[in-house]
Structure formats: C-alpha cells, structure tokens
Chains A and B, each alone.
Chain A
C-alpha cells in the first residue's frame, strides 16, 4: 500500500509534505532526531452481568504526538486535533527541548520494513452488534451450566482497531492497522450458605470477533473461570516459607516478565539502575533457561508489525542457556548505548513518550516430562494461575500473586490452597530452575504491562518448570 492510500492520508488528507513540515518545525531549534506519531483508535465493548446485558460502549480517540531528541533530552507535545496548525504548534513546543540552529530533515520518505502478523478477514466495524451480544450471552449460559454452585457471572467482550502512522526525521515512514480483541469471564461460586470464591479467565490477541467463533469460544473461557471458582471451594490455607515450586505451563510465564524482563529494558540499563546493568555475557540463570522476547508471533497480544517508533519488531534472545545476551532497546537508549534498536519502542497512546518494553516473553521448552517434574517434588507447591505480578528492578525483588495452586506431597498434586504471593530475587530465581518441561505454552492473551504510568498489551509463555527454592507467602506457618 502506498502512503496516499493509507488511513491518515485518505481520511484526514495528510500528505508527505505535511509530515516533512512538522518534522522541520520539530527540529527548528536543533536536535538529533524527531518523529511524529498519529493514532486513531476505535473501541467497542459489551458486558453481561447478572444475566442481563448491562453495558455497551463504543468510541473514538485520535491525536498526534511530536517528539524531539537532543542528546539525552526528550521534548514531547501532542494534540487531539489533527489540523495542521495544531500539529505544528505541538512540534514547536517539542522543539523547545533543543537550543541551537535548525537540524536538517531528510526529504522524501522511504516506507519502513514491517511484518504482516495480523491480517483481518473482517474489520471490527463490519461486525454486527448482535454478534457481540451473542458472545457474552453464550459465556453467561456456559458458566452457569458448569456447576450449580456458580451464582454470579460477568462476561465482557471488547475489541479495538488502532491505525497508526510514524514518520521520522531519518526519512522513514510506517503505518499499521492493529486489531485487538479480548473476552473475559468472572465467576463467583459458593456452597449453600458458604463464603463465595472467585474465578477468572480470558483471552484474545491481535484478532477480531471471528477468533471467538472459530478458535477459542466463549464457552472455553466460561468453563475455565467456573472451574477455578469451584476448585477454590475446597482450598485450604496456603503454606508459608521457602519450598520448591512447580509452575504450570503458559500464563505462569509472568515469572520471566517480572524476574528478568523488566530488568533487561534498555532505559534502566543505560541509567545503571537495573540489577542486570553491565552483566551481558554473565551467567544469570540456570543453563536450562533460554528466554526470548518475540514481537513477531502471528496474532499474539504482544505482537506488532512495527513498533511505536516505526521499527520492525524482532525475535530477541535475552538469555541463552543461562547467559545474558541482550537488552530490549528503543531508539533513545540504543543510540546512547551505541547499539541498535531491538524493535522494542512502545507507547500507550499518542499522549505518551515511547520507551523500551516487552512484547511476548517466553522460555524455550526443555526435555523433561511435566509429570516427572511434579513427581520429583517431595513437599512443595504447584501453581497454575496468577492474577498478576510486580517487580522493583533496582533490588530485583519480584512478587507474583498466585490464584490457583495445589500442594505437592510425595510427588503427587493433592489439595488446592488459597491465594498466596510468591516472591523472589530476579537474577537468583532462574538460577534455581532445575527442570524445564517439554510443554512450552503461550498464555491465552490477557496480559497488560504497566510501566511509569503507561499500559501496553503483552504476552508471556513458559513450559512447566521446577524452581528449587522460592518463598511462598501463605498463612499456614
């Protein structure tokens, strides 16, 4: 597709000449680099609660952000009005970060290379509202049918289509159309007169409504949420103290996101505030661990054809057989660290400055049979579902909140336990990985990562792994 056929050219009449003029204005007081990011985001969501469709919302937000980099300094301004005068004003404001003679903008744009990871059969605005309603109703029926102890069901379907355009002072131009869809189901169950328990499941990715008709159905998510709530009805107090922990395959990969991923983001390492700073080539994990961040997997929630700085995303090896190989870089950090961008520059919206972020972070499969991994533990915990996690990248103290776990006693999975935090120290945690399963699984597509006030969608994945020592934060001391 040529630029003149692209979304912003067709809908708002934006020309290459306009883009050049914005970039010239941005570099009118000097600076090393400038870019302008256009965004047009259309969202839609519908929710069922207490068996009735209580909410239906849709909307549009749009704007353009102009960034100027001068050395380590960044100037940023945005406008929610796409008129040339307003964008030029934003460019002028961003330019104030630099003080000097104007820098030269390359004239004539070259279209940047990019992937084609999420082709759409039908765009979200081609789907009927009734099709959306049908999805949440199916989820409600399936969750209630799963078990008579289910008494509350909330289900939501949400989708969005984001059109973006990035033009840089290096003369690169990229545009992309990024779909996202997600279903989530929340279930409460209780024994007659007993206290309620909670279950949650969801999924999706850079897909459209058709995904939920063909690949993962509302019933799949509804049954999973109901199953989790029912399991919790028999849960006992979680143990407290250090013990071996087995993480199930898939979503427990948030361990990688928290324990190592954030610590490998280029900005923290450039500033020297990460515990991984200056440790490339060192052993930071057990030799069984190879950790990848891959933004190029088709239709995944964390994938992008082109990052939010106009660079094609990549498959980046972070840790190879336990050795630290690389950081996640955006343009600013890579420029200052004299290396290349890894296609990891991301931002929440046109109102935000890009920074290095993860995409889909996972560990390669090993060769252990998952059943053997559980059998090898005399007394420990088996965790399969988490509600989230957090890390302090300086001390590398990380926490994950487990919502479905079981005791392992004499190599067998026995009783379910109540919610408990799992904690550890980033670079230490992966040194205790003693078995890696052959069952690598990526998560269902529900992850959102928050950093410095910006949220972006991400994915994780992991095979079943055994960690010899981890602290479990239950109450049964």
Chain B
C-alpha cells in the first residue's frame, strides 16, 4: 500500500469532520508547523548551533445545541491518522465534563473571513540564508560592540535566529485558512567593565522581511553604547519627578495597558478600565491603535485564531477609550462585537492577543522632549514588572539616565518608579515621533508628568 501524505489543510479539515461524526455540534482545529535555526557566538567563537522543526495539532470541540454548548480541547504532536483520532476522542470525552456555557461557541458565520492579498509575512530569502552567512552576521555584530570602546572586553554573545512556519485553521462553519510566516533576528549582549564594576545591555533587529534587517555593525554599536552609558550608575534620592520612557520601555508600559483593555479582564471586572468605554481615561496626547492589517509586521495576520478577519481598531483616541480588544467569547459577555483579537496556541479556548498594538507617533523628536525637562528620569530599562491592571497600581524596578536642565547626564540604577496607571495615562504630556515596530507592541518616546522614584 502506498500511503499518501496528507496536506496539513486536509488533516485539519478531517479532524473537524471526525469530531462532528463523533457527536460534536461544532469543532475547530489549529495546526502549526515551524522550522527554527539559531546560532550564537561569544568572544568571536561559535558557541551554539541549533536547528530543528516541529509540528503540533489542536482541536476544540463543542457539543449540545447552539447557545447551550459544552467545550473540550486536546492537542498532539503526533499528526499520524492514529494520533489525530486519539486527539479528537480525548476532546469529545472532555466535553462531557465541562459546563454548558451560553456565551461559548464559534463566531457567527458572518464574522468569519480573511484578508486577501499578500500581507508580506513570508520572505523566502530567510529560509535560504546560509549557516555561514548567519554566523557572520552574529560575529560582525559582536565585533562591532568590541570595537566600539575598550571597556567592552567581555560579552554574553551575539545570536542570529531565524524561523519559518505555517499556521492552518479550520472550523465546522466552513472556514479553512492558512498562512506562512518567516522571521529573523540578530541580537548582541555586550558587557562593559570599569573599575571592577560591570554593566550589560542589549540591542537587536527583528523582522519578517530580510531586507529590513539592520546592519550587524549598527546593532553592535548601539548595544555597546547602551552598556557603556550604564557604567558608574548612581542611586538617586526618593522624589517625585517627570519620567520619560524611551521606546523600548514605553512599549513595556503599553504592554501593561494591553492587559487593561483585554476583554477577558473587562468582563470579569478585573481591570481598572472596566466600565470606562467612552470616557476620557488619558491625556489628549495619547492615541492607541491595534492594527493587524499592516503588511510585513509581527502582529499582522490574515485572520485571528477563531477565523475572524483581521482589522484596525481604535482603542484610545486622543485620550478617550473607544474600544476594548475582544474575541468572540468576551464580546458576547459584554454584548459587543469581536474585534478579531482571538489568540491561542494550538488548543484550548481562545484568549485575547494584540495585532500590532501601538501608540500613534507624535510630532516631537525625543531630544526636544528631553530638552524641556529641568530635572527628571529617562528610563531605559524596566525590571521586575510590577503592574497590577486590576487596581492600576504600578511599581517597577528601573534604570536609566538622569535628566538635568534638558540634558541626559549620569546613569542611575537600583531605583523604582511607581504611580497609579490611571494618573500615568492622564499624565502623558508628550509623545515622540520615533515610533518603530520591532515586535507586535510598539511605542515612541513618551513623557509622563510625574511619578514617584524610590532610591536612597
């Protein structure tokens, strides 16, 4: 007998059909496959080389009448017919023990869909990069860091990572979609040493498209400059001052805001932004958008993980909360429409994830924002992640540079910055023009009027 290799689309569709044949009233199947490559160099020698591929399938079944369904889920890394059959059976068994949930179930057929056209998520050049070329990129990035300053004599290494993958989604309402993605990144972590003290920092370039990869020399120099400027950091006295977040740390703060507009937190009343739709929750300077339709970016997809077409959603418009980010379940709980933000691994009930979630760029160059601050903190690193999006309490470890008379001066470390997120949002006085997408959450420089710094 000649066994015919099934396509992943066929496997997904068959799994859905098997679930229906087994008594499910609805089902959805996700399959993902990926190839990863990673090389790291340290002190100009190759350290690790890793290469492999893997696949996984997951199913979610619903049983009972629509509007009163129970759900069960399972997954497997065994995509053989026996593996898929076991997976479907397990999900059907699990659906016997869950509760009837009137808000559960698949999206309405009218909500299913996908963006047409090339979203520029896959670049064949990434799959074709040679090992030698990737090693060379990492070598050059680390060398550029060493060459930048004699105080960079040590390094935690540089690495080049690439990934190609495919995602397939099928459901019992007739949706079948798939898309390929690729990505590559180059990062370097130099260590700066002076008078027995050490500081490290990093920089990276990440992209879905090989032509947008920044030069290894640029990545190495930026990383080295960042590590050097942290040397001889001081602790400052406890005080209240204006705080500027550079794009990297502003993006981390924006990630906390994402947690607060996540529909799952909203319907549970587990967010300080619950019940605030239409209210002025931030300063006029702040506009936040989620847009999964911009070609070539990390947060872009043709459809979300429930088969709903991707879209652009205005979340905060000049300080007014316009929309939460929702999947089908949270939308039904809130009597709203899904925003196409369903997100999951390969199995389970869908959660909520960002598309490209970003703060719209303002007009001022970062230097002009700094120039207006007589005394304050410029935050380059957040550590410890202490945002409580239930209450809005915010307290995080921080490092950065002190601002005096409109100029960046000495480095500061071992301090915390704290405030209430409600007041931080209202206190965003300036938004920089320096928005860049290095991941699915992106922000330009932002200035917050006042936060508590705890130090000496």
**Contacts of A389 on B, CB cut-off 8 Å?**
384
Is the CB of A425 closer than 8 A to any CB of chain B?
yes
Q: How far is the CA of A475 from the CA of B230 in the complex (A)?
A: 25
For A54, give its contact among B49, B99, B240 (CB under 8 Å): B99
Q: How far is the CA of A372 from the CA of B162 in the complex (A)?
A: 57
**Contacts of B94 on A, CB cut-off 8 Å?**
56-58, 129
For B54, give its contact among A238, A351, A477 (CB under 8 Å): A351
**Contacts of A46 on B, CB cut-off 8 Å?**
97
Residue of B nearest to A78 (CB): B52
Q: How far is the CA of A285 from the CA of B266 in the complex (A)?
A: 45
Is the CB of B134 closer than 8 A to any CB of chain A?
no
What is the CB-to-nearest-CB distance from A385 to chain B, in angstroms, rounded to a whole number? 13
Query: Does the CB pair A353–B50 fall under 8 Å?
Result: yes
Would you call the interface of chain A mostly helix, strand, loop, or mixed? strand
Which of chain B's residues 354-409 have a Cβ closer than 8 Å to chain A?
A: 381, 383-386, 388, 390-391, 393, 395-397, 399
Is the CB of B416 closer than 8 A to any CB of chain A?
yes
Query: Does the CB pair A351–B395 fall under 8 Å?
Result: no
Query: Does the CB pair A73–B399 fall under 8 Å?
Result: no
**Contacts of B384 on A, CB cut-off 8 Å?**
388-390, 398-401, 421, 423
Query: Does the CB pair A73–B42 fall under 8 Å?
Result: no
Is the CB of B200 closer than 8 A to any CB of chain A?
yes
**Contacts of B56 on A, CB cut-off 8 Å?**
61, 80
**Contacts of B396 on A, CB cut-off 8 Å?**
399, 421, 473
Flag B394-434 by CB within 8 Å of A: 1 or 0 each.
01110100000000000001111111100000000000000
**Contacts of B76 on A, CB cut-off 8 Å?**
59-61
Is the CB of A424 closer than 8 A to any CB of chain B?
yes
Flag B175-218 by CB within 8 Å of A: 1 or 0 each.
00000000000000001000001111000000000000000000
Which of chain A's residues 118-163 have a Cβ closer than 8 Å to chain B?
A: 129-130, 132-133, 151-152, 154
Query: Does the CB pair B239–A477 fall under 8 Å?
Result: yes
For A401, give its contact among B50, B395, B455 (CB under 8 Å): B395
Flag B95-108 by CB within 8 Å of A: 1 or 0 each.
11111110010000
Query: Does the CB pair A188–B269 fall under 8 Å?
Result: yes
Query: Does the CB pair A473–B199 fall under 8 Å?
Result: no
Is the CB of A198 closer than 8 A to any CB of chain B?
yes
Q: How far is the CA of A400 from the CA of B395 in the complex (A)?
A: 10
Query: Does the CB pair B97–A130 fall under 8 Å?
Result: yes
Query: Does the CB pair A63–B416 fall under 8 Å?
Result: no
Query: Does the CB pair B48–A272 fall under 8 Å?
Result: no
Query: Does the CB pair A271–B156 fall under 8 Å?
Result: yes
Q: How far is the CA of A77 from the CA of B52 in the complex (A)?
A: 5
Contact A53 B98, CB 8 Å, known A58-B90, A238-B395:
yes
Q: Which candidate, B23-31, B67-75, B318-326, is the interface stretch facing chain A?
A: B67-75
**Contacts of B230 on A, CB cut-off 8 Å?**
395
For B77, give its contact among A63, A75, A398, A425 (CB under 8 Å): A63
The size bracket of the interface on B is: 35 or more
For B55, give its contact among A80, A198, A238, A474 (CB under 8 Å): A80
**Contacts of B72 on A, CB cut-off 8 Å?**
56-57
Q: Which candidate, A89-97, A323-331, A357-365, is the interface stretch facing chain B?
A: A89-97
Flag A15-54 by CB within 8 Å of B: 1 or 0 each.
0000000000000000000000000000000100110111
Query: Does the CB pair A62–B77 fall under 8 Å?
Result: yes
Is the CB of A13 closer than 8 A to any CB of chain B?
no
Query: Does the CB pair B454–A474 fall under 8 Å?
Result: yes
Is the CB of A195 closer than 8 A to any CB of chain B?
yes
Is the CB of A418 closer than 8 A to any CB of chain B?
yes
Residue of A nearest to B456 (CB): A242
For A471, give its contact among B86, B239, B416, B419 (CB under 8 Å): B416
Query: Does the CB pair A477–B74 fall under 8 Å?
Result: no
Query: Does the CB pair B270–A76 fall under 8 Å?
Result: no
Query: Does the CB pair B200–A240 fall under 8 Å?
Result: no
Q: How far is the CA of A272 from the CA of B269 in the complex (A)?
A: 48
**Contacts of B97 on A, CB cut-off 8 Å?**
46, 53, 56, 129-130, 132-133
Is the CB of A226 closer than 8 A to any CB of chain B?
no
**Contacts of B393 on A, CB cut-off 8 Å?**
418-419
Q: How far is the CA of A76 from the CA of B51 in the complex (A)?
A: 7
Query: Does the CB pair B55–A195 fall under 8 Å?
Result: no
Residue of A nearest to B349 (CB): A55
**Contacts of A398 on B, CB cut-off 8 Å?**
384, 397
Is the CB of B277 closer than 8 A to any CB of chain A?
no
Which of chain B's residues 279-337 have a Cβ closer than 8 Å to chain A?
A: none
**Contacts of B399 on A, CB cut-off 8 Å?**
395, 397
Q: How many A-B residue pairs have CB under 8 A?
A: 258
Query: Does the CB pair A152–B268 fall under 8 Å?
Result: yes
Query: Does the CB pair B52–A273 fall under 8 Å?
Result: no
Query: Does the CB pair A475–B418 fall under 8 Å?
Result: yes
Is the CB of A448 closer than 8 A to any CB of chain B?
no
**Contacts of B435 on A, CB cut-off 8 Å?**
none
Q: How far is the CA of A188 from the CA of B272 in the complex (A)?
A: 13
Contact A198 B270, CB 8 Å, known A394-B199, A473-B454:
yes
**Contacts of B452 on A, CB cut-off 8 Å?**
240, 473-477
Is the CB of B78 closer than 8 A to any CB of chain A?
yes
Query: Does the CB pair B417–A59 fall under 8 Å?
Result: no
Query: Does the CB pair B416–A96 fall under 8 Å?
Result: no
Which of chain B's residues 438-456 have a Cβ closer than 8 Å to chain A?
A: 452-456
Query: Does the CB pair A59–B87 fall under 8 Å?
Result: yes
**Contacts of A190 on B, CB cut-off 8 Å?**
269
Contact A401 B385, CB 8 Å, known A52-B99, A57-B73, A198-B270:
yes
Query: Does the CB pair B99–A60 fall under 8 Å?
Result: no
Is the CB of A413 closer than 8 A to any CB of chain B?
no
**Contacts of B419 on A, CB cut-off 8 Å?**
475
What is the CB-to-nearest-CB distance from A4 to chain B, in angstroms, rounded to a whole number? 23
Is the CB of A184 closer than 8 A to any CB of chain B?
no
**Contacts of A58 on B, CB cut-off 8 Å?**
73-74, 90, 94
Q: How far is the CA of A54 from the CA of B56 in the complex (A)?
A: 23
Query: Does the CB pair B75–A477 fall under 8 Å?
Result: no
What is the CB-to-nearest-CB distance from B78 to chain A, in angstroms, rounded to a whole number? 7
Q: How far is the CA of A387 from the CA of B101 in the complex (A)?
A: 31
**Contacts of B453 on A, CB cut-off 8 Å?**
240
**Contacts of A130 on B, CB cut-off 8 Å?**
97
Contact A55 B397, CB 8 Å, known A63-B54, A240-B452, A395-B199:
no
Is the CB of A438 closer than 8 A to any CB of chain B?
no
Q: How far is the CA of A335 from the CA of B302 in the complex (A)?
A: 49
**Contacts of B104 on A, CB cut-off 8 Å?**
54
Is the CB of A436 closer than 8 A to any CB of chain B?
no
Flag B39-69 by CB within 8 Å of A: 1 or 0 each.
0001001111111111110100000000000
Residue of B nearest to A73 (CB): B46
Query: Does the CB pair B388–A80 fall under 8 Å?
Result: no
Is the CB of B347 closer than 8 A to any CB of chain A?
yes
**Contacts of A97 on B, CB cut-off 8 Å?**
46, 49
**Contacts of B10 on A, CB cut-off 8 Å?**
none
Is the CB of B124 closer than 8 A to any CB of chain A?
no
Query: Does the CB pair B454–A240 fall under 8 Å?
Result: yes
Query: Does the CB pair A395–B200 fall under 8 Å?
Result: yes
Is the CB of B127 closer than 8 A to any CB of chain A?
no
Flag A198-240 by CB within 8 Å of B: 1 or 0 each.
1000000000000000000000000000000000100000101
Is the CB of B126 closer than 8 A to any CB of chain A?
no
Is the CB of A167 closer than 8 A to any CB of chain B?
no
Residue of B nearest to A52 (CB): B99
Contact A397 B383, CB 8 Å, known A56-B72, A56-B97, A74-B48:
yes
Can you name 20 A-B pairs with beta carbons within 8 Å? A53-B97, A56-B71, A58-B73, A58-B94, A59-B87, A76-B52, A79-B52, A93-B51, A129-B97, A152-B269, A152-B270, A196-B391, A240-B453, A353-B48, A353-B50, A390-B383, A398-B397, A419-B395, A471-B414, A471-B454
Q: Which A-B residue pairs are the 7 nearest by beta carbons?
A: A473-B416, A399-B384, A399-B397, A59-B75, A52-B99, A240-B454, A56-B94
Given A54-B71, A401-B385; 19 other pairs, CB 8 A cutoff: A53-B97, A54-B349, A56-B98, A59-B75, A60-B86, A73-B49, A74-B49, A75-B50, A96-B49, A97-B46, A196-B269, A198-B391, A271-B156, A272-B154, A392-B383, A395-B197, A399-B383, A399-B397, A420-B416
